[in-house]
Amino acid sequence: MRPMQQSIKILYYANKSEEPFVEIVSVKQQNKRRPSVASSADSESDDLLPVLTDHSQILSEHHLEHLMNHIPARTQGYSWKLVYSTAEHGTSLTTLYRQMRELDRPVLMVIKDSDKQVFGAFSSDPFKVSSYCYGTGETFLYSFSPEFQVFRWSGENSYFVRGFLDSLQMGGGGGPFGLWLDSDLYRGSSYSCSTFCNRPLSLHHDFTVQDLEVWTFV
């Protein structure tokens, strides 16, 4: 167990009948961990896990510990709110877009496929239908399959995100997409792309979605 940190408290005493004096007292303090829905009560990790305002079908403490260190500084310290999940809202890309219609902040997509692999993407902008690519260099892909890796913007192009009614695309550059999902959020694919210079996020290029969630920061 990590030793407790120590600080000093200075007490000043004054009394009409006595001379004033100063007493120095050592005070032991221990950093408290910020609670998380996914955390265990007896964990001794020093990392401050984000607070999930809703239950996740996918995210565990292991996932949170890695992801929280890679999201941009402007999203750090906020609670994570579930905007869309296939478990709650059904499997529909149209519904996913509708749930984000009023959002103006970044979102984190988390996918668990039929092989029980977890991967996804952080988008600087909420997902929407657009006739052009959108997003900024904050956008990245990530995967826990088999070990955690983050694939940030390579600088080669700006094909971050593009939403259609029949598909959602992330990353590109004259070839397959870094992450692609169909209109039913059931079939997906992941290939290496120029935008993120990523390896495939899933064990196989083509995958079947078991659960999908999108979180934002409030």
The pLDDT of 112-135, averaged and rounded, is 98
| Higher pLDDT pick, 141 / 36 | 141
pLDDT in tens, 83-106: 999 999 999 999 999 999 999 999
- Strand 5-15 relative to strand 118-123: parallel, antiparallel, unpaired? unpaired
Name the DSSP class of 61.
Answer: H
Strand partners, 15: 18
The pLDDT of 140-156, averaged and rounded, is 97
pLDDT > 70 in the chain, percent: 78
Residue-level pLDDT at 1 = 41
Distance CA 120, CA 150 (A): 10
Distance CA 161, CA 83 (A): 18
Give the range among 9-23, 61-75, 100-114 with minimum mean pLDDT: 9-23
Please name the residues in contact with 33: beta carbons below 8 A apart, sequence gap of 6 or more.
39, 43, 45, 46, 47, 48, 49
Residue 52 and residue 38 in contact, taking contact as beta carbons nearer than 8 Å: yes
pLDDT > 90 in the chain, percent: 76
Question: Dihedral of the CA atoms 202, 204, 210, 213 (nearest 10)?
Answer: 30
How do the domains of the chain map onto residue ranges?
1-32, 61-217
Please name the residues in contact with 41: beta carbons below 8 A apart, sequence gap of 6 or more.
none
Mean pLDDT (the chain, rounded): 85
Residue-level pLDDT at 131 = 95
